[in-house]
Amino acid sequence: MDMGFTARIEELKRQWPGNIALQCFDGQEYAALPQAARQRLAKCLASGVENPDSQMGCYACQPSDYDALKPFFSRVLARYHKVPEHARHVNDWDLSHIDGLPAGGLLDLAALGLPPLSMRVRAGRNLKDFPLPGAMDRTMRVQLEQRMMAAFEGLIADPAYGGRYHSLTPGNPCFIDERAYDELVAAHIMFKNMDQDRYLLAAGIAADWPHGRGCYVSADRAFIIWVGEEDHLRIMCMQRGTVLNAVFDRLKSALERVGALPGLQFAVSEDYGFVTSCPTNLGTGMRASVHMPLPNLTRDGTDAKARAIAGPLGLSVRGIGGEHTPIGADGTVDISPSARFCITEAEIIAALYQGIARLKSEEDKAAANHPKSEEN
């Protein structure tokens, strides 16, 4: 049995207290596992061991990993999501179950004094009959893409979702060249080059890039499905406007429509909800975001003040290009609730609206403290 692995983890544990997976690894528990389970757990930890600066430090590699390796993942989920170790997730899109919302549950940013902004809600989903992206080989990745391309035929024929698939797989009939790819990334439609992400590379999730990767885009570019990124699917609705319900309600319908397509069955755990590669996304797989201009809170050119305010509000701040990217030159940042697990979809979108209201108030205070006369 590989004592070296345990010794290496224990050493890294001492050096990297912020790496949740390392901190939740129990050497004695690991040693008592059958060999196959030890190998399965070690694969989940690969990214966090190779990148000890990770915050989460692990990814599931099989849809059943969360249940099969429950003692470890229960600790990881409890520590990251700040929930009890055996908390069970419940999904619920019904805003009428949320107290304190505006009349009729209308989440209108205009009522907060904000102009139309770019709004996006995405949900990670994985098919139950494939390994998760961290354990797929190139053949499986292309098979998944082929399964999705067949399913997309049902969307292409539907006026509410009609569009086309853009493939990055060489030789695929829907293949797009680098110029077209770059245009879709710049439009925030396609995902970034995965083989630039050391966390995803170490997890095996970015392997075989760009084979089996692509995205379906509706004609109005407001409904998008990524294929083969960190999860098998990232299903999202995105549009410029002020009413958060517009993207939230459209995504709910879209998930029901996609989930009913032939050949598609999402991986769902009774305890953990929708299964995702990263434990940070487990349960809802949902990130609801708004690109919000905060020119006063980012006056120093960084998102430090915005993060200091957003963090205690349960909000994450990302750059204008998404995770691991800089803020916009005009001070626009990507704001989204951090929680995904043991929170319902309705609570997430409500938290986004209420968080934006609080951030707007702080931005207005910062503006008042910086009179126009100091503009030059």
Which residues contribute to the site for ligand ADP (CB under 6 A)?
118-120, 122, 188, 234, 238, 287, 289-291, 318, 320-323, 334
CA–CA distance, 147 with 258 (Å, rounded to integer)? 13
CA–CA distance, 219 with 86 (Å, rounded to integer)? 43
> Shortest CA distance to 244 belongs to which of 138, 341, 357, 160?
357
How far is the first Cα of the chain from the last one, in angstroms, to the nearest whole number?
Answer: 66
64 CB contacts (<8 Å, ≥6 apart)? none
Instruction: Give whichever of 218 and 289 is closer to ligand DAR, judged by the CB atom.
Output: 289
**361 binds ligand DAR per the rule CB under 6 A:** no
Dihedral angle, C-alpha 206, 213, 175, 145, nearest 10 °: 140
Among 1, 29, 55, 88, binds ligand DAR (CB under 6 A): 55
Among 9, 25, 49, 57, binds ligand DAR (CB under 6 A): 57
**278 binds ligand DAR per the rule CB under 6 A:** yes
**336 binds ligand DAR per the rule CB under 6 A:** no
Q: Which stretch binds ligand DAR (CB under 6 A): 48-56, 149-157, 174-182, 303-311?
A: 48-56
Minimum distance from residue 235 beta carbon to ligand DAR (Å): 16
Measured CA distances, 127 to 50, 143, 261, 299, 311 (Å): 27, 12, 12, 44, 33
Instruction: Give whichever of 38 and 291 is closer to ligand ADP, judged by the CB atom.
Output: 291
CA–CA distance, 241 with 104 (Å, rounded to integer)? 18
> Shortest CA distance to 57 belongs to which of 32, 75, 82?
75
Spacing of C-alpha 331 from chain mean position: 23
Minimum distance from residue 343 beta carbon to ligand ADP (Å): 16
Minimum distance from residue 38 beta carbon to ligand DAR (Å): 21
Instruction: Give whichever of 20 and 264 is closer to ligand DAR, judged by the CB atom.
Output: 20
Minimum distance from residue 33 beta carbon to ligand DAR (Å): 22
Q: Which stretch binds ligand DAR (CB under 6 A): 35-43, 51-59, 166-174, 293-301?
A: 51-59
Minimum distance from residue 202 beta carbon to ligand DAR (Å): 10
Q: Is 25 left (phi over 0), alpha (psi -120 to 50) or beta?
A: beta
Instruction: Give whichever of 290 and 359 is closer to ligand ADP, judged by the CB atom.
Output: 290
Q: Which residues bind ligand DAR (CB under 6 A)?
A: 54-57, 199, 230, 278, 280, 323
